[in-house]
């Protein structure tokens, strides 16, 4: 089969070039290739392929390898062989590599943004922001590993004087598995610290959104990352992903995705007690509106929390709790804001896959049966036409035990009234699927008081989605075991030992 591969894609870095390519009726299908040992694996090593479609149009866009066990084993073996030498490189050398990656990604940032928008479906402005954040992952860790040394302590125990310091050793080979909602951002958020702290890896992006991870492999090749240090393979979860996490040569697993798959991974690796496991689980988070807010500003922030990336974010603020004294006024303002800023083909994109479209639609059907009021939006057609579009939907009079009140992961927001601070804290903490929260109030004491009581690893107050990599994120609910950023990223990819030497 004739196909378009990296050399041709690498030059489709302007809207005009990409549009001309996509509209060309004689264009070749994109063939994604596995990247192992800094080389692209020949297509004859792949016997099964996954079809990838454009969420915006529903048209066939690419074919993605469903990598079999022997390809996975090859990639893991290569990473294992590369680990001893890479783990002994200096932080200065690894920092230089990370900066080269960041520079080339920045040079090709429009290429990545255009393909992220095309392949995943998100608006171009959102894709551009995610590419910039992806570049920052490498710049941040390039600086972090040069500036964060472990402290040295003088000890005098049992009549012996010693100097004690913590020595950190890279864990080993990591399996990195990421979701489809932010393909490039999630991949780079794990690859950057993996490389920075001296680990090697095999990454498997989602087979539903593989094109920017595929393009990222060319960055690794062009910056001359040592062969085998980071390998990127493609495939589904049951076949490729399961084989990867189960490899005895894998020392750690870092995963972003759903609850069901997280449980399967935990069960798979349970007998291998030595494996380090970090699971970041998708969820729906609360936004709390107190009565002292500026109405329009609060509605804009709440809408952004709920509908950014079409609600397909691990930190989406899909559940909006509004103080009863301003409930009707706020709801009206929110509806106007959503209609203006988050309409189809504008502020939001389509669902990523037919399966995700069907899941979100089923939640809306269930809500309708329970007499939920559709303030905006409607139940879309069962069989979508011209793309996987679901309108931005605001629901009121929603039962707290309904499907839509759980993890929605789509452009759907539920709005509830509350009366007291204590009540809303209990409502928010009763939802097991949120790792973040947003508080909107002008009362600084309330921000602190409520923020400290919410079971959320990251809390925004009068802002939303700004994120300091150094502060990191930790899943406080123990729904998953996800951690990222700064010292938390270091804890994932290194093991620490106390080293004592004589003091004279």
Q: Which domains, from first to last, does the chain contain?
A: 6-282+481-496 (3.40.605.10), 287-461 (3.40.309.10)
φ/ψ of residue 327, rounded to 5: -60, -55
**CA 130 remoteness from chain centre:** 10
Report the candidate in 235, 135, 131, 247 with the shortest Cα–Cα distance to residue 200.
Answer: 247
Model confidence at 407: pLDDT above 80: no
Backbone angles phi, psi at 22, to 5 degrees: -65, -30
Residue 7: CB atoms within 10 A of its CB come to 8
Contact assessment for residue 320 and residue 414, using Cβ atoms and an 8 Å cutoff? yes
Q: What angle do CA 216, 347, 52 make, to 5 degrees?
A: 40
What's the rounded Cα separation, in Å, for the pair 43 and 40?
Answer: 9
Q: How far apart are CA 306 and CA 318, in angstroms?
A: 5
Per-residue model confidence (pLDDT) at position 401? 81
User: How confident is the model over 128-179, as pLDDT tens digits?
Assistant: 999 999 999 999 999 999 987 666 666 666 667 777 777 789 999 999 999 9
SS3 190: helix
Dihedral (C-alpha) 488, 202, 78, 73: value to the nearest 10 degrees? 130
Task: Return phi, psi of residue 225, to 5°.
Answer: -60, 135
Strand-pair category, 473-474 with 483-484: antiparallel
The percentage of the chain sitting over the pLDDT mark of 70, rounded to a whole number, equals 93
To the nearest whole number, what is the mean pLDDT of the chain? 90
The predicted-structure confidence for 227-275, as pLDDT tens digits, reads as follows 999 999 999 999 999 999 999 999 999 999 888 898 899 999 989 888 9
Whether 1 has a pLDDT exceeding 50, the answer reads: no
| pLDDT given at position 476 | 46
Q: From the candidates 207, 314, 375, 428, which is the catalytic residue? A: 314
- Indicate if the alpha-carbon torsion angle 435, 438, 439, 445 is positive or negative: positive
Of residues 127 and 314, the one with the higher pLDDT is: 127
- Measured CA to CA, the distance from residue 205 to residue 216 in angstroms comes to 11
Torsion angle (degrees, nearest 10) of CA 416, 417, 422, 424: 20
Q: Show contacts of 48-52: CB within 8 Å, 24+ apart.
A: 50/207, 50/234, 50/235, 50/236, 52/119, 52/207, 52/208, 52/209, 52/210, 52/211
Per-residue confidence (pLDDT) for residue 294, from 0 to 100: 96
Question: Of 169-178, 197-206, 430-439, which range is least confident?
Answer: 430-439
Which of 193, 215, 210, 177 is CA-nearest to residue 75?
A: 177
463 is catalytic: no
422 is catalytic: no
Tens of pLDDT, residues 333-352? 999 999 999 988 778 999 99
Exactly one of 136, 280, 375, 484 is catalytic; which is it? 280
CA–CA gap between residue 290 and residue 417 (Å, rounded): 10
**Residue 319 in 3-state DSSP?**
strand
Q: 427 or 474: whose pLDDT is higher?
A: 427
Continuous H helices in 121-269:
124-147, 183-196, 211-222, 242-246, 259-269
How much is the pLDDT for 198?
A: 97
Angstrom distance (rounded) from CA 471 to CA 458: 9
Q: Buried (b) or exposed (e) across 218-228, using 16+ Cβ within 10 A? A: bbbeebebeeb
Q: d(Cα 390, Cα 483) in Å, to the nearest integer?
A: 32
The token pair at 65 is 């390898």
Beta bridge partners of 437: 459
Residue 123: pLDDT band with limits 50, 70, 90 = very high
């Amino acid at each position: 089969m004739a196909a378009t591969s990296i050399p041709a894609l690498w030059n489709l870095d302007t809207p005009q070039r990409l549009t001309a390519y996509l509209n060309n009726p004689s264009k070749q299908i994109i063939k994604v290739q596995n990247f192992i040992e800094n080389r692209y694996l020949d297509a004859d090593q792949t016997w099964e392929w996954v079809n990838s479609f454009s969420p915006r149009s529903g048209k066939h866009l690419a074919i993605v390898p469903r990598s079999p066990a022997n390809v996975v084993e090859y990639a893991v073996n290569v990473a294992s062989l590369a680990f001893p030498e890479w783990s002994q490189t200096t932080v200065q050398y690894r920092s230089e590599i990370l900066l080269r990656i960041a520079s080339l990604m920045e040079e090709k940032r429009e290429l990545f943004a255009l393909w992220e928008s095309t392949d995943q479906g998100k608006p171009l402005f959102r894709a551009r922001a995610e590419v910039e954040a992806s570049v920052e992952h490498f710049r941040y860790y390039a600086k972090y590993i040069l500036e964060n040394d472990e402290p040295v302590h003088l000890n005098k125990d049992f009549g012996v004087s010693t100097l004690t310091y913590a020595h950190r050793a890279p864990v080993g080979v990591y399996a990195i598995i990421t979701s489809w909602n932010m393909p490039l951002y999630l991949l780079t958020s794990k690859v950057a610290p993996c490389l920075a702290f001296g680990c090697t890896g095999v990454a498997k992006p989602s087979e539903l959104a593989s094109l920017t991870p595929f393009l990222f492999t060319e960055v690794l090749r062009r910056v001359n990352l040592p062969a085998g240090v980071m390998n990127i393979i493609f495939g589904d979860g049951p076949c490729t992903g399961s084989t990867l996490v189960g490899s005895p040569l894998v020392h750690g697993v870092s995963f972003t995705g759903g609850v069901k798959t997280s449980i399967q991974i935990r069960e798979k690796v349970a007998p291998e007690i030595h494996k380090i496991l970090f699971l970041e689980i998708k969820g729906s988070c609360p936004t709390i509106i107190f009565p002292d807010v500026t109405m329009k500003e609060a509605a804009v922030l709440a809408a952004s929390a709920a509908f950014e990336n079409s609600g397909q974010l691990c930190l989406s603020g899909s559940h909006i709790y509004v103080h009863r004294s301003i409930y009707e006024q706020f709801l009206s303002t929110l509806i106007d804001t959503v209609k203006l800023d988050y309409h189809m083909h504008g502020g939001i994109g389509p669902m990523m896959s037919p399966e995700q479209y069907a899941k979100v639609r089923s939640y809306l059907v269930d809500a309708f049966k329970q007499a939920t009021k559709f303030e905006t939006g409607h139940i879309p057609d069962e069989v979508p036409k011209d793309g996987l579009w679901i309108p931005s939907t605001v629901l009121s009079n929603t039962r707290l035990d309904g499907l839509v009140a759980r993890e929605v992961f789509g452009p759907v927001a539920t709005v509830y009234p509350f009366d007291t601070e204590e009540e809303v804290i209990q409502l928010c903490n009763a939802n097991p699927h949120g790792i973040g929260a947003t508080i909107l109030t002008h009362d600084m004491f309330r921000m602190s008081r409520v923020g400290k009581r919410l079971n959320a690893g990251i809390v925004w107050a009068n802002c939303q989605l700004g994120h300091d990599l150094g502060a990191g994120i930790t899943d406080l609910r123990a729904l998953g075991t996800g951690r990222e950023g700064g010292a938390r990223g270091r804890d994932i990819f290194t093991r620490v030992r106390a080293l004592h030497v004589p003091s004279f």
